[in-house]
Structure 1
């Protein structure tokens, strides 16, 4: 019997931990309204019940399990070792991102600053920058998959287009994340977060154009 890969096991453990946290919040969380949504300046602009937070976390847990299972099965069925490693990197990246999002949701809604309805002004920017940093550090080595990466039609039709567009996106996201982390305690909000998100949108458009450009010149591309 084939043993599950380490990433599969970790994904199952993370899913169980998030579901356990969701169940604890649903049973023992505050009965009074808690912040569930924040504006760009970090101020709570909507309140909800503990059951809403628990439902969001449970949804994240199931999304994590689905993504890890699909990418893991794709990796298991791929004979090419390099592509299999790339898919496993994508699996690890999705696990890290979902774990970070779940932790941030719990901290924002139930942390020390939650009763006042305000977090640290740069918290949202720092969290976004952290996600960009870890994504950028890994993205250029992730193989084609349905969840992580520059998933354009041209990237799926050309391995070269996938590799180059994702390497470009990875570099851009890494440096955006590094700059965002360094500047998040210093810049005024929400201007800092808006600037960071604008940079991400520019990087995304640039990467999509790159995938088309490389596919167009790739002699080994697949036709539509």
Structure 2
């Protein structure tokens, strides 16, 4: 099928840091995606499930089992371009998991399980600060600094931005193709996650400020009562 009509019906997504609200709901997006063939919709659902794994559905499995399941599902993705996008997302997760595992005291690298081209190098250079990946993955130093600050929100923001950049590049290289449609849907998912994360941060800050104001108000009341 021609994907031109569908792609031109999709709204523009601003840069990730500029996303304050979604340009359309998931229901509206799904309505536009009904223009896809059934086989394309099935592949899209598979790619989304692999790109945004459900943490609740992963419980009860070891890391090794999860990776085996993930690889089996990945083989069902027909587009090599989309497999590479999923592979890249898992490589980022692997790097972060390796850094956390080492910081938690794991001393035997053979007990660490992950995915991607960097796994052998990570195990081989386990005790080096950047696993010997500085030349291939310079962002690892930035990730290390954020992990050292114990700031999960900032780390997720960095991860989302790297995934976003990868998808934007893919869209530009595959104009008006099925891959560009899927990359848009994945970026929509990242944008939604980004907005939800920052919304939660804003709510937390509001609650903290409110608690401080209430505490101050209570203190003032006590002082006033003491004066009386």
Do both proteins adopt the same fold according to a TM-score greater than 0.5, normalized to the shorter chain? no
Larger Rg: 2
| TM-score, normalising length: structure 1 | 0.29
